[in-house]
Structure 1
Amino acid sequence: MTRVWLVDRDVDSRNLVTMTYATPDGERAFSRQAALDSLARRDAPTAAVDVDDDRLDPVDDPETAERYAAEAQRVAAEHDPEDVL
């Protein structure tokens, strides 16, 4: 299992949220989509999850990897690991 952290969270007009997660080293990420069951959850924090390594994808662009790593570390410092959507 690998601990990953939310990097981006984008909610569209249909309340479909796309979440991008990355490891703190910034080298791998994955995205998932979920339909929000309530507008109240639109701004709910989403932090760490544990996923199998085979669900992670490589991040090839060095600038994106650096941004992902920085954001993953920031989220790790600001949110409790149990704050999961």
Structure 2
Amino acid sequence: MTDVETDANTERVRMWLVERTYSDDEQNMVILTYATPDGERYFRKERALTSFTDVRDTTAAVDAAPENVGAVDDPADRERYAAEAERMAGEHDPDDVI
């Protein structure tokens, strides 16, 4: 898949994992940030960690709907996201569990 691809009339945007953080506001919340290889767009997933037996894989990439993708305004974040997305794309297949 390229950065943007239409699959069965549904456009999706390939995003690579660039950041994993823990929320300061809520306990047991992990925020996964995915970005395009150019660092210009991002997709964020929030995941509650409810128990040790709650296993949900985090993959190296996701294919997000364009309406769920935002623009990265900060130039430093764009540069950082682009570098990490390129690294992840070069080292992992999209479905690799990270």
| TM-score > 0.5, shorter chain as reference | yes
Q: How does 1:35-50 map to 2 (within 5 A)?
A: 35-36=48-49, 37-38=51-52, 46-50=59-63
Q: How does 1:11-22 map to 2 (within 5 A)?
A: 11=22, 14-22=27-35
Unpaired runs of 5+ residues, structure 2, are 1-11
Equivalenced residue count is 83
Deviations 1:59-84 (A, max 9, x none): 11111101101100111112221125
Deviations 1:5-44 (A, max 9, x none): 01101246944211011100110112111123537x6xx7
Instruction: Work out whether residues 48 and 84 of structure 1, in 8 Å CA contact, stay in contact via their aligned partners in 2.
Output: no
Moved over 4 A (4+): none
Please provide the CA RMSD for this pair.
2.5
Please name the residue that 1:25 is paired with: 38
Q: Which has the higher helix share?
A: 1
- Distance across 1 between alignment mates of 2:58 and 2:43: 18
Q: What is the DSSP-based 3-state SS (H/G/I as helix, E as strand, rest coil) of the residue aligned with 1:38? A: coil
Please name the residue that 1:64 is paired with: 77
User: TM-score, normalising length from structure 2?
Assistant: 0.70
Unpaired runs of 5+ residues, structure 1, are none
